[in-house]
Amino acid sequence: MKAFVLDAYGPGRLLRATELPEPDLHDDEVLVEVHAAGLNPLDVKIRSGAFKLILPYRLPLVLGHDVAGVVVKTGPEVRRFKPGDEVYARADDFRIGSLAEFIPIKEASLALKPRGLSMESAAAVPLAGLTAWQALVERARLQRGQRVFIQAGSGGVGTFAIQLARHLGTTVATTASAANAALVRRLGADVVIDYKTQDIEEVLHGYDVVLHSQDTMALESSLRVLKRGGTLVSLSGPPDPAFGQAIAASWPLRLAVRLLSAGVRRRARHLGVNYAFLFMRANGQQLGELTQLIEAGAIHPELDRVFPFASTNEALAHVEAGRAKGKVVVRVK
């Protein structure tokens, strides 16, 4: 099969186009013919080596976490899917590789593709959509009538998070450039802050939830816009002790994680707010919940650009530039 592989970690490393054997299939997995692969900042960070202590992949590695395609084979333990089904998923850690013609996916991580969505649009959903769900619904337990601040509203996660928060009946604030203000308002943002000219602490006060995805300076400010008892869920770190436990890290790594987040956890306690780090995970059941919302018209994926498979390196460079409005997708088939 055709694939793009990473031979060595490093910023800006180009992936190599090559031919690989069709991947082995575990008993609880489904082999998917890849029609489209969504790209994410996580792919860029793995390529650079930023996560090699947390996710020690063996090289060469096929990158790609988001997939939409068609089932071609099922393992003997699979019950819910059959050849010919149109599906989508966020591939499991250590089984990623959607930048290839075929990928094995655990049955528990897979969902039927939403009716009416193209393969390219479906491939834009899993990682970003699940991140929004796990941050706002599972971790923050966002409730109707609450107020939520979502950083970087025009990004991949931000575009889903705004729509999901709106669907849940909350007041939504977000940051965006002036050029993207109309987009995030269309998605459901009530308050739009121009991060280039405005200070969030002068605009926002007493918020219930913050979805943080930016740098340390934005983290410090975001803690202060929360009301007492509020919750900040961080996608960009620092990781907290619960994360070290969740990945069954070694004790030296657990200690390092605890020390990395000690300062922010101490400041959160001083302010009377909660801090949590989220490293999202594959989950077919939650993806099924998102499918229902997509089919009902409550949320939809925002596509920035679709690249041909041969232009995979250009697609990654576009993601790394950080200016995409919504998701970047590679059309594989």
pLDDT, tens digit (0-9, with 9 covering 90-100), for 14-47: 999 999 999 999 999 999 999 999 999 999 999 9
Give me Rg for the CA atoms of the chain: 19
Tokens matching residue 218 = 């934005």
Residues 160 and 198 in one domain: yes
Does 179 score more than 90 pLDDT? yes
Q: pLDDT of 53-72, one tens digit each?
A: 888 999 999 999 999 999 99
| Whether residues 162 and 199 fall in one domain | yes
pLDDT at 246: 81
Beta-sheet pairing, 191-194 with 207-212: unpaired
The answer to the question of residue 31 being in a domain is: yes
Confirm whether 285 is domain-assigned.
Answer: no
Q: Is the pLDDT of residue 97 over 90?
A: yes
Dihedral angle, C-alpha 269, 270, 273, 274, nearest 10 °: -20
The reply to whether 96 falls in a domain is yes
Query: Domain check: are 132 and 259 in the same one?
Result: yes
Whether residues 137 and 270 share a domain: the answer is yes
Q: Are residues 91 and 139 in the same domain?
A: no
Query: Does residue 285 have a pLDDT over 90?
Result: yes
Q: What is the pLDDT of residue 237?
A: 84
| Share above pLDDT 90 across residues of the chain, in percent, rounded to a whole number | 90
Average pLDDT over residues 166-195: 97
pLDDT band at 232 (very low <50, low <70, confident <90, very high): very high
Residue 79 resides in a domain: yes
What pLDDT, on a 0 to 100 scale, did the predictor assign at position 327? 98
Give the model's pLDDT for residue 212: 97
Write down the pLDDT at residue 310. 98
Token representation of residue 110: 């897979």
| Encoded tokens for 14 | 């180009």
Q: Reply yes or no on whether the pLDDT at 216 is more than 90.
A: no
Do 271 and 161 share a structural domain? yes
Alpha-carbon distance values, 284 to 45, 89, 91, 103, 157 (Å): 24, 7, 10, 16, 18
Number of domains in the chain: 2
Q: What is the mean pLDDT of the chain?
A: 96
The span from the CA of 173 to the CA of 196, in Å, is 16
Clarify whether residues 228 and 206 are in a common domain: yes
- The answer to whether position 290 is within a domain reads no
- CA-to-CA distance for 249 and 287, rounded, in angstroms? 27
Average pLDDT of 124-149? Answer: 98
Domain termination residue (choose one: 262, 277, 292): 277
Task: Report the phi/psi class of residue 172: left, alpha or beta, with left for phi > 0 and alpha for psi in -120 to 50.
Answer: beta
The string of pLDDT tens digits covering residues 197-207 is: 999 999 999 99
CATH number of domain containing 116: 3.90.180.10
Reduce the secondary structure of 241-307 to three states and give it as a string.
HHHHHHCCCCHHHHHHHHHHHHHHHHHHHHHCCEEEECCCCCCHHHHHHHHHHHHCCCCCCCEEEEE
pLDDT for 243-282, tens place per residue? 888 877 888 888 988 998 999 999 999 999 999 999 999 9
Q: Are residues 56 and 195 in the same domain?
A: no
Residue 183: per-residue pLDDT: 97
178-205 average pLDDT score: 96
Full residue range of the structural domain in which residue 91 is found: 2-125+301-331
Give dist(CA 277, CA 237) in Å, integer: 6
Verify that 133 and 113 share a domain, yes or no. no
Side by side, the strands of the sheet bearing 226-234 are 191-194, 171-176, 147-150, 207-212, 226-234, 274-277
Asked whether residue 294 is domain-assigned, the answer is: no
Q: What pLDDT sits at residue 244? A: 84
Does residue 161 sit in the same domain as residue 247?
Answer: yes
CATH number at residue 148: 3.40.50.720
Q: Are residues 161 and 58 in the same domain?
A: no
Within a domain: 102 = yes
Is the residue at 283 inside a domain?
A: no
As a whole-number percent, the residues of the chain with pLDDT over 70 amount to 100
Interval 306-314 mean pLDDT: 98
25 and 101 fall within a common domain? yes
